[in-house]
Amino acid sequence: MENCFISDFSRHVDERVTVQGWVANRRSSGRVSFLILRDGTGICQAIVERDTIGDIYPEIKKLPLESSLRVHGHVVKEERSPGGYELHVDGIHIIHKAEEFPIGKKEHGPDFLLSQRHLWLRSPRQISIMRIRDAIIRYVREFFSINGFTLIDTPIFTTTCGEDSTNLFSVDYFDLGKTYLSQTGQLYLEALIPGLGKVYCLGPTFRAERSKTRRHLTEFWMVEGEMAFYEHKDNLDLQEQFVSYVVQKTLAEKEDELKKIERDIEPLRNITPPFYRISYDEALEILKGKGSDIQWGSDLGGDDETLITGLFDKPVFIECYPKKTKAFYMKQHPEKPEYVLCADLLAPEGYGEIIGGSQREDDLNVLLNSIRDNGLDPERYGWYLDLRRFGSVPHSGFGLGIERTVAWICGLKHVRETIPFPRMLYRAYP
């Protein structure tokens, strides 16, 4: 008799099968035990009767949660059962009897659960989130692939700072001194566009941010696109297509999982182009109107973003920040040199920034001055400056944070549940 996955039960109704898995839950009486089995593809209720399985029954009746089993039995259709089928068991082999599982039904605090993350990941809600994350990343890749982008794997060890020099993790690199863990793949993507036109990368990025917020991780996954001959507006058009594609695909294919985690999916149906677009200066007016004392030149904080997204039923781009607020590589506004051609995309329902993007500075001298003004060492940017010496063209790109996007689509308060093993200011275990 072959091993059968629970997800294949529909093809084995009334047949005898073997299932291997874990005891996710158990309810027992004198002569019958109801085991909820989980096998990595789904869950099913297994009915174990004392009279059928004999001597092993007393042990099954007290079997600790998360013990692993090999179970033989008949698949029976049962609408009321989780998954729609039941297994009527006639034989059981205990593969491993578990110790008492530390995560129970009672409420646990986030710190406890995070310290048990390696075990917490077996709970139904976390399983659904991991499945949705997987799907979102697949749709992200699909979008870029359909639209003619080439995937480029950019390095993790870097010698240049891509975003903010106060956020770098440094690593001793043999005799070469310090290198940094990558904050972005963007600068390297820019080197690929003369050969490939449209490129993207998807990988881990690192920021030594001392922020303990619901939006910050020190290690997170970012997908970045970079496009030759795209100007600022083309960049925003592409981003709203991209985000809408990922959200609508998730709704179409993962509605079940979203419902399991009790996501209200109505607000997501609305995520279609066009998104709203307001300028940084307009955003400041809105915030001041609401009593904020934010000054021109400061970046929007988490609370500011929450306030703004509350006013819109779709994502909103905040365009054209002051040059001094943003990274050195952004293109100076042609009419207003104190601004740059950039936009952050804020997700609705209070989620805030999920994308940072911009047109890139393509003028060698303006870029060189920007590097100096930001206190960076032009020597280290030799290769990047070369890109403005050999066929410089207008180009743009953006980066979307995977965890913030998963948090928004899943409706989670904090990014810590969107990544298998979160790395935060006070947590690098397990």
Number of residues that bind ligand 4AD (CB under 6 A): 25
Q: Amino acid letter at 257?
A: E
Least Cβ distance, residue 11 to Mg ion (angstroms):
48
What is the nearest approach in angstroms of ligand 4AD to the Cβ of residue 205? 7
Q: Give the bridge partners for 70, in sequence order.
A: 20, 93
Q: Of these, 322, 352, 356, 357, which contacts Mg ion (CB under 5 A)?
A: 356
User: Is the Cβ–Cβ distance between 124 and 113 less than 8 Å?
Assistant: no
3-state SS assignment for residue 352: strand
Task: Return the structure tokens found at 14.
Answer: 């009334």
Q: How far is CA 114 from CA 5, 237, 301, 423, 430, in A?
A: 30, 39, 26, 10, 8
Give dist(CA 103, CA 142) in Å, integer: 37
Give the interface segment with ligand 4AD, choosing from 17-25, 100-108, 370-378, 398-406 (CB under 6 A). 398-406
Rounded least distance, CB 79 to ligand 4AD, Å:
42
Q: Which of 19, 63, 135, 217 binds ligand 4AD (CB under 6 A)?
A: 217
219-248 residues in contact with ligand 4AD (CB under 6 A) are: 220, 222, 224
Using CB under 6 A, pick the residue from 26, 50, 198, 216 that binds ligand 4AD: 216
Paired with 316 in beta bridges are 276, 346
The gap between the terminal CA atoms of the chain, to the nearest Å, is 39
Select the span of 75-83, 152-160, 246-254, 396-404 touching ligand 4AD (CB under 6 A).
396-404
Site for ligand 4AD contains 357 (CB under 6 A): yes
Closest residue to Mg ion, judged by C-beta, is: 356
Task: Enumerate residues 6+ apart whose C-beta is below 8 A from 5.
Answer: 19, 39, 40, 41, 42
Q: Of the listed pieces 98-106, 165-173, 282-290, 349-357, which binds Mg ion according to CB under 5 A?
A: 349-357
Residue 261 sits at the vertex; the CA angle it makes with 251 and 308, to the nearest 5 degrees, is 70
Residue 395: strand pairing partners = 228
Q: Indicate the residue among 82 and 350 with the shorter CB distance to Mg ion.
A: 350
Q: In terms of CB distance, is 88 or 141 closer to ligand 4AD?
A: 141
| Rounded distance between C-alpha atoms, residue 201 and residue 180, angstroms | 18
* Residues of the shown chain interacting with Mg ion in the complex, contacts defined by CB under 5 A: 356
* Residues of the shown chain interacting with ligand 4AD in the complex, contacts defined by CB under 6 A: 162-163, 184, 186, 207, 209, 216-217, 220, 222, 224, 353-358, 397-401, 403-404, 415
